[in-house]
Amino acid sequence: MAEYVRNLWYMAGWEAEVADGGWLARRLLDRPWLIYRTSDGDYAMIADRCPHRFAPLSRGRRDGDTIVCGYHGLGFDATGACKHSPFGKTLPDSVRVATLPVVARYGALWFWPGDTAQADPAHIPDFAFMADTSEHVPGHMMMNANYELIADNLMDLSHVEFLHVESFGVSGELFTGKHSVKQDADGAIWNKWDMTNIRPQQWIVDQVGEGVNVDSELHMRWHAPAAMALRIGNVRAGDSSKTPVVPPMLNPHILTPETQTATHYFFTHGHGDFAAELARRVFEEEDHPMLEAVQASMGDTDFWEARPLILESDAGAIRARRRLMQLRKAEAA
Ligand code: FES
Ligand SMILES: [Fe+2]
């Protein structure tokens, strides 16, 4: 399996997942981490593994900004330093746990697993829209699949016409559309489907009534390593003023590897039972089992060594994979 690209911001979780006075314990990029809010209001991210006998520090307790190991009582602060030993003697400075830069932005926590000197929060991709909690309910699920396989799924929305026929009520409209891929100067890759004069998806028909055709756009934006934003827009067919018939939808699909074959999938859905149920159905019942089956079918074979058939509809997904390969190569050098 390919190495992780290190010099990037990855999403660790939602701020809402960090309990007040507690922490979020999560395995990220093959290592266990613990994230907590310190008394100055910032966040700290320290290894969730005591250097003494490797107890998870998340089995311990908080004493202010110090995490006290639940096994033999060593205490570590937000800088990773051992600030407390119950054994009387001060331990050398070298006794510490690893830390990573972590920043809160847009309701999410972002960490930098690479060279700390390069960790500039200005490089966190723009997900300002998801900070609006009146529109976005944060979600998180685990998928037992490599994160690049899940990015393939999101960057190739032709699968909607097969995997999500029931939930979205589609019937081939996507294939009447124009498909394009482009890359921005900042490395963002756009995978766009633009359809004209189509019958809208069923959830839109439910809102605008039968017989209204739409011009529809399905635009996915990708940032390395696998932070995606999907924009779905619909205007009445031929409406040059581009007035939406339903409010445009903007949703994050952000992937962070837990391991090479398990991924944290961060998403949001709207408020209310309908939106929650649609998200559950689409993710849990449709994408989730298919992606785990794809991973199981591949085992630990490398993607390129398995010699995948590449179709035109894969163009965005392949562009994203190539971009990650370039970044990996640059880091290896
Ligand atoms: S394992 Fe943490 S103090 Fe012993
Ligand atoms: Fe899907």
Alpha carbon nearest to ligand 1 atom 1, residue:
53
The amino acid present at 288, given as its one-letter code, is H
Question: Can you give the C-alpha Rg of the chain in angstroms?
Answer: 22
* Statement to judge: residues 84 and 202 lie in one domain: no
Give the pLDDT of residue 75. Answer: 97
Instruction: Provide the CA 140 distance to its chain's centre, in angstroms.
Output: 9
Of all atoms in ligand 1, which is nearest to the CA of residue 50?
A: 2
Alpha carbon nearest to ligand 1 atom 3, residue:
72
C-alpha 327/C-alpha 224 separation (Å) is 9
Among all ligands shown, which has an atom nearest to the Cα of 86? 1
Of all atoms in ligand 1, which is nearest to the CA of residue 55?
A: 1
* Statement to judge: residues 146 and 277 lie in one domain: yes
* Statement to judge: residues 195 and 324 lie in one domain: yes
C-alpha 195/C-alpha 154 separation (Å) is 18
Cα of 16 vs centre of ligand 2, distance in Å, is: 25
The amino acid present at 8, given as its one-letter code, is L
CB 284 within 8 A of CB 276: no
CB 195 within 8 A of CB 173: yes
Of all atoms in ligand 1, which is nearest to the CA of residue 70?
A: 2
**201 assigned to some structural domain:** yes
- Give me the sheet containing 249-259, strands edge to edge: 137-143, 262-269, 249-259, 227-236, 214-223, 189-198, 178-183
Cα of 46 vs centre of ligand 2, distance in Å, is: 34
Give the pLDDT of residue 90. Answer: 82
User: Domain range spanning residue 194?
Assistant: 129-332
Of all atoms in ligand 1, which is nearest to the CA of residue 53?
A: 1
Phi, psi of 181, deg, nearest 5: -130, 135
Cα of 49 vs centre of ligand 1, distance in Å, is: 9
The 10 Å Cβ neighbour count of residue 249 is 15
* Statement to judge: residues 94 and 209 lie in one domain: no
Q: For ligand 2, an ion, list residues with CB under 5 A.
A: 287
**5 assigned to some structural domain:** no
C-alpha 208/C-alpha 226 separation (Å) is 34
The amino acid present at 289, given as its one-letter code, is P
β partners of residue 191:
181, 220
The pTM assigned to this predicted structure is 0.96
**38 assigned to some structural domain:** yes
* Statement to judge: residues 213 and 82 lie in one domain: no
CB 219 within 8 A of CB 231: yes
* Statement to judge: residues 268 and 324 lie in one domain: yes
Instruction: Provide the CA 268 distance to its chain's centre, in angstroms.
Output: 10
C-alpha 121/C-alpha 124 separation (Å) is 5
Give the pLDDT of residue 201. Answer: 83
Cα of 154 vs centre of ligand 2, distance in Å, is: 6
CATH number at residue 293: 3.90.380.10
Of all atoms in ligand 1, which is nearest to the CA of residue 72?
A: 3
Q: Which protein residues touch ligand 1 with a CB less than 6 Å away?
A: 50, 52-53, 55, 69, 71-74
Among all ligands shown, which has an atom nearest to the Cα of 278? 2
Cα of 195 vs centre of ligand 2, distance in Å, is: 18
C-alpha 114/C-alpha 106 separation (Å) is 22
b/e string for 24-36 if b means 16 or more Cβ within 10 A? bbbebbeeebbbb
Give the pLDDT of residue 167. Answer: 85
* Statement to judge: residues 59 and 114 lie in one domain: yes
Cα of 171 vs centre of ligand 1, distance in Å, is: 59
* Statement to judge: residues 77 and 181 lie in one domain: no
β partners of residue 143:
263
Give the pLDDT of residue 207. Answer: 83
Cα of 72 vs centre of ligand 1, distance in Å, is: 5
The amino acid present at 282, given as its one-letter code, is V
Our count of domains for the chain comes to 2
Non-local (6+) Cβ contacts of 19 within 8 A are none
| Selection from 244, 246, 174 nearest residue 203 by Cα | 246
**Which of 124, 155, 186 is a domain's end point?**
124
Per-residue pLDDT of the chain (333 residues; tens, 9 = 90+): 689 999 999 999 999 999 999 999 999 999 999 999 999 999 999 999 999 999 999 999 999 999 999 999 999 999 999 999 999 888 898 999 999 999 999 999 999 999 999 999 999 999 999 999 999 999 999 999 999 999 999 999 999 999 998 888 788 889 999 999 999 998 999 999 999 999 888 888 888 889 899 999 999 999 999 999 999 999 999 999 999 999 999 999 999 999 999 999 999 999 999 889 988 999 999 999 999 999 999 999 999 999 999 999 999 999 999 999 999 999 999
**2 assigned to some structural domain:** no
